[in-house]
Amino acid sequence: MSFVQPIFLAGLLLAAVPILIHLINRRRARRLDFSALEFLLRRDPRLARRLKMKELLLLLFRTLLVMAIPLALARPYLPAPSSGSAPLGAPRSVVIVVDRGLEQWVDDDRVDSYRPLWTRTVRKAREVLSRLPPGSTAAVVFADRGRPSLLESHLSRDPLKLSRKLSRIKPTYTRSDLKDAAGLARTLLSEEGLEHREIRIIASFSVSDITELESLDFRGVDLHLHPINRKKPVSNTRLSSVRQVRSSDGGTELITQVENHTPDSSETAVTLQLGEQVVRQAVQLDPNSSKEVRFGLGPTDVFETAEIRVDDDDFPPDNTFFFQRRRQEAMNVLVVNGSPRPIRFQDEVFFLGRAMEALKQVRNELLVEIVAPAGLKPATVVDRDVIILANIHVLDRDVAHTLKTAVEGGVGLLVTVGDQSDSDFGDSLRDLLVLPLREIHGSDARFSAEGGIAVGNIDVRAEGARLLSGAGGESIRQARIFRYAVLAPPSPAETNISTWITLENGAPLLLERPMGRGRIMFFGTSIDFDWTDMPAHPGYVQLISVLLDHLSGGGIASGRSQIHPGQRWAISLPRDVKIRSVDIKGPDSTVKTEIRKTGERLQLIVREAKVPGSYQVYVHLADGSELNYLFSVNVVRSDKQRIPASIQAVKKIENAVGKKHTPTKRQADPDSTVVAGTPIWHFLLLSLILLLAMEAYTAFKV
């Protein structure tokens, strides 16, 4: 007999209560000198014995009554026997599949203070190992996602050694995969197992785990599932991202997103740790909501790595968000020059190129490649951060599709217009324009005093456009626009379009629309001097800088810092460097790296940084110099992706799997009521009622 809720068995201790009451009552019984009773009993000695018997019987009933309640609550059931069932005490081969994934960090609600579920998982596994009959063999498989691993590479004859080793293991920060691990366990048993074989899975089961396990074939193996699940919902407040935005005063604004994954409202303190500087902000969060928390840093607040924390909750690993100072190195920009001219200053991208040259002076690295429209191939688009289509005419359909896919994957696209922007342009770039192109407005009365239209408004409320609120923005306001493209008005449903700059006649000049993980921006006039005198204004460089920042990730520390434990990611290295060695310093010393060269591109691939924290990568070059990179690994736990399975569901599956592989005779008898896994707590409840009735009878009818 096994129990669904064995915790309630602790209630059996209550059986002592009626016995104690009985003994105390006997001791405290009020004395009464009364001869009649003794005389009647003396006349019938059997009666005295009968009375004693009834009294003991009543005590027994009461004790059983008290015991029946926790027994019924523990919900006993008869476990399903399978064809592989070993006789008691017979040696067997047991493979314990242990879930050491992210969920094991969740607080065990059986104790008051924080203790991860992992403690209970290890205890259970060690208990299984310690109870193996002599001569048994055992192995422990860790259900690590993608690559289940063994504590020892074979079935060991020394379970105690396994137990000792297991006590030193810590849970990982990646999700687990029970299916693969169970598969490995099955293979191990089929290759090395004794006659009687068992697989015991000790895990925080999710609904998907259960579904996956159900599909596996456990023929010839006894399957036991030991759920190490939490009963109460996990109360988790976490930080999902940190963005770094340059503020108008030259400093940085850190914007972090605090999420409350709790059905109740929550109050937490968000703490920014910047070296020795600590800043705290209290946040009140509604149930299942998120809130933005901003920390303003001055221009002198320089840091390399930092972390932001929230208060302790049921899942500590995602309470701290590690991040590093945003760097602009290796921004890879592809400029498609739609109107190249032999005279440099007449070239479409001459002023854009000049602006980017100026930006290179203040940035670590800005990789710019300028190609003609003919050079725009799907392969050219790969690994770009920003692509600028400057006054191109038409786009090949495949290229347009590739561009769209790239944008959806996170690339920023800026489309500017010019003398080649006609209806063909509008048609071929239909999906890459913020809105459909309607017509071109303007006159050639340029450079006259009254010619052109002035910039009307810069909407500093738009993310990114805020950086144009200073002197740069004022400079842009001085610019005149002589010709400009007019787009179709947005439908009321298109609420995600934001207008950064509007002309004084109300026509939008610079618009933005997010698309997938990337964004598209449309500059409604030429990027050069043809349709506007904007390149002549100092604010032009700032505008280009802001656009590049925004398109390459909007000043966000980007997806690059959103590395999850175990995730692989690539660092783009400068071309033509000779690498001598690579060192990585961080909380996980087992991180692996590899250098990969694709065409002319050189990448450093970082693999399996399994522990959250900030990492420093030192690339030592052959010439003795050194490149330095930073990255952060952060844990994200998603409740929505993982629905915990109820203990009943686990037991149900265990029984179903057990039944599925029992001999054919059982399956041929569908009417049989005595089946494996039959819950017998109903029977106990009935016993409880019967005991109550007997108690009443005994009390009143002796």
Partner 1 sequence: MKPLRNNERLSELLTRVQGMRLDAQGLVEGFLSGRHRSPHHGVSIEFSDHKEYTPGDDLRTIDWKVFGRSDKLYIKRFHHETDLTARIILDGSGSMAYGPDESMKYRCAGVFALALSYLFLRQGDRVEMQVVSDQVQGRVPARPGLGHFSSIAQMLESTIPEGETALGPVLDGQVERFGRRRAIIILTDVFEDPERLFRPMRALRARGCSVLLLHVLHGDELDFPFDGVRDFRSMETEGNLVTEPQLIRSLYLKRMRSHLETITTGVQQSNVGYLRIRTDDSLEAPLYELVRRGLP
| Interface contacts to partner 1, rule CB under 8 A | 25-26, 28-44, 47-48, 51, 54-55, 58, 698-702
44 or 152: CB nearest partner 1: 44
45 or 506: CB nearest partner 1: 45
Give the CA angle between residues 145, 517, 428 to the nearest 5°: 130
Alpha helices in 300-434 (DSSP H): 350-362, 378-381, 397-408, 423-428
| Cβ neighbourhood burial of 428 (10 Å; 0-12, 13-18, 19+) | middle
- DSSP code, position 104: G
Question: To the nearest whole angstrom, how small is the minimum distance from the Cβ of residue 54 to partner 1?
Answer: 7
Question: To the nearest whole angstrom, how small is the minimum distance from the Cβ of residue 49 to partner 1?
Answer: 12
Question: Which residues have CB under 8 Å from 696's CB, separation 6+?
Answer: none
Can you tell me the distance from the alpha carbon of 375 to that of 212, in angstroms, rounded to the nearest whole number? Answer: 48
452-490 b/e (C-beta count within 10 Å ≥ 16 → b): bbebeebbeebbbbbbbeeebbebbbebbbbbbbebeeb
What residues does 595 pair with on adjacent strands? Answer: 604
33 or 450: CB nearest partner 1: 33
Tell me which residue of 327, 345, 250, 257 sits closest to 294, measured CA to CA: 257
Can you tell me the distance from the alpha carbon of 114 to that of 395, in angstroms, rounded to the nearest whole number? Answer: 59
56 or 605: CB nearest partner 1: 56
**Residues 487 and 437: beta-carbon distance below 8 Å:** yes
Question: To the nearest whole angstrom, how small is the minimum distance from the Cβ of residue 263 to partner 1?
Answer: 50
Question: To the nearest whole angstrom, how small is the minimum distance from the Cβ of residue 687 to partner 1?
Answer: 23
Question: To the nearest whole angstrom, how small is the minimum distance from the Cβ of residue 15 to partner 1?
Answer: 20
Question: To the nearest whole angstrom, how small is the minimum distance from the Cβ of residue 41 to partner 1?
Answer: 7
Question: To the nearest whole angstrom, how small is the minimum distance from the Cβ of residue 86 to partner 1?
Answer: 50
66 or 573: CB nearest partner 1: 66
Can you tell me the distance from the alpha carbon of 543 to that of 539, in angstroms, rounded to the nearest whole number? Answer: 6
55 or 419: CB nearest partner 1: 55
37 or 605: CB nearest partner 1: 37
20 or 282: CB nearest partner 1: 20
35 or 153: CB nearest partner 1: 35
Question: To the nearest whole angstrom, how small is the minimum distance from the Cβ of residue 66 to partner 1?
Answer: 18
CA 527 to chain centre: 41
Cα–Cα distances in Å, from 533 out to 214, 217, 349? 69, 73, 14
The continuous run of DSSP H or E covering 163 comes out as: helix 159-166
What residues does 308 pair with on adjacent strands? Answer: 272, 321
Can you tell me the distance from the alpha carbon of 685 to that of 690, in angstroms, rounded to the nearest whole number? Answer: 9
Can you tell me the distance from the alpha carbon of 225 to that of 237, in angstroms, rounded to the nearest whole number? Answer: 30
Question: To the nearest whole angstrom, how small is the minimum distance from the Cβ of residue 37 to partner 1?
Answer: 5
Give the CA angle between residues 408, 429, 336 to the nearest 5°: 80
38 or 249: CB nearest partner 1: 38
32 or 449: CB nearest partner 1: 32
- How long, in residues, is the chain? 702
33 or 276: CB nearest partner 1: 33
Question: To the nearest whole angstrom, how small is the minimum distance from the Cβ of residue 58 to partner 1?
Answer: 7
- DSSP code, position 116: B
Give the CA angle between residues 33, 38, 43 to the nearest 5°: 160
What the block records as the tokens of 314 is 């049921």
Tell me which residue of 129, 144, 151, 101 sits closest to 200, measured CA to CA: 129
31 or 232: CB nearest partner 1: 31
Question: To the nearest whole angstrom, how small is the minimum distance from the Cβ of residue 42 to partner 1?
Answer: 7
Sign of CA dihedral 85, 87, 91, 96: positive
269 or 702: CB nearest partner 1: 702
Question: To the nearest whole angstrom, how small is the minimum distance from the Cβ of residue 16 to partner 1?
Answer: 18
**Residues 179 and 162: beta-carbon distance below 8 Å:** no
Question: To the nearest whole angstrom, how small is the minimum distance from the Cβ of residue 21 to partner 1?
Answer: 10
Question: Which residues have CB under 8 Å from 509's CB, separation 6+?
Answer: 455, 481, 484, 500, 501, 502, 503, 523, 524, 525
Cα–Cα distances in Å, from 29 out to 22, 25, 469, 698? 10, 6, 91, 20
**Residues 547 and 489: beta-carbon distance below 8 Å:** no
Question: To the nearest whole angstrom, how small is the minimum distance from the Cβ of residue 118 to partner 1?
Answer: 51
52 or 147: CB nearest partner 1: 52
**Residues 599 and 557: beta-carbon distance below 8 Å:** no
Instruction: Report residue 131: phi and psi, to 5°.
Output: -100, 10
Strands 252-261 and 289-297: antiparallel
**Residues 622 and 579: beta-carbon distance below 8 Å:** yes
Instruction: Report residue 478: phi and psi, to 5°.
Output: -80, -15
Residue 234: how many other CB atoms lie within 10 Å: 18
31 or 578: CB nearest partner 1: 31
Strands 386-390 and 412-416: parallel
What the block records as the tokens of 477 is 């306001």
Question: To the nearest whole angstrom, how small is the minimum distance from the Cβ of residue 36 to partner 1?
Answer: 4
61 or 569: CB nearest partner 1: 61
Question: To the nearest whole angstrom, how small is the minimum distance from the Cβ of residue 68 to partner 1?
Answer: 21
Can you tell me the distance from the alpha carbon of 59 to that of 23, in angstroms, rounded to the nearest whole number? Answer: 10
Question: To the nearest whole angstrom, how small is the minimum distance from the Cβ of residue 689 to partner 1?
Answer: 22
